[in-house]
Amino acid sequence: VFQKYGYTHLSAGDLLRDERKRPGSQYGELIENYIKEGEIVPVEITISLLKRAMDQTMAANSQKNKFLIDGFPRNENNLQGWKKTMDGKADVSFVLFFDCDNEICIGRCLERGKSSGRSDDNRESLEKRIHTYLQSTKPIIDLYERMGKVRKVDASKSVDEVFEKVVQIFDKEG
């Protein structure tokens, strides 16, 4: 759906997981340890991977200058790193916030874990991730909420209902 509106989807998590697997990566082991502990990877690493992906996309096609950045910023440090590196280079139009009950999230991730091969799709890592979310990420969502930039989706609904709400948001936001 995002491509229809001219967005390139970049997942901070996918970029980190890909970098972790890349032979010769200086960050691979470090990223693995953070992910396994349900903690947030240092901002310098995540920002450098995001910026590299954005630069590569725009170098290949200068028209591709709208990005949906999935899973970032996750904490105050991420936000400050983004501002330091991207101020004047990128504007945040809005934040798409998928709001979902913790137990539903855990259940979905445990189900995904049956086939994902992800080291963090287990109850212990997931509970750590929820703790990290409440402590570190929720205040960032609240900050963007006060700025009027949060577009909330009830993610406990069915896939089709969630998708329809996302389409409505993108139809409105462009």
Range 120-147 average pLDDT: 94
Q: Considering Cα of 53, then 57, then 62, then 68, what sign does the dihedral take?
A: negative
77-130 confidence digits (pLDDT tens): 999 999 999 998 899 999 999 999 999 999 999 999 999 988 889 999 999 999
- pLDDT the model gives residue 37: 85
Q: How many CB atoms lie within 10 A of CB 161?
A: 13
Residue 141 CB-density burial (10 A; 0-12 exposed, 13-18 middle, 19+ buried): middle
Total-model pTM? 0.83
The pair of three-digit structure tokens given for residue 3, joined into one six-digit string: 């491509």
Q: What is the mean pLDDT of the chain?
A: 93
Which residues of the chain form CATH 3.40.50.300?
Answer: 1-93
- pLDDT the model gives residue 102: 94
Decide if pLDDT at 4 tops 90.
no
CATH superfamily membership of 1-93: P-loop containing nucleotide triphosphate hydrolases (3.40.50.300)
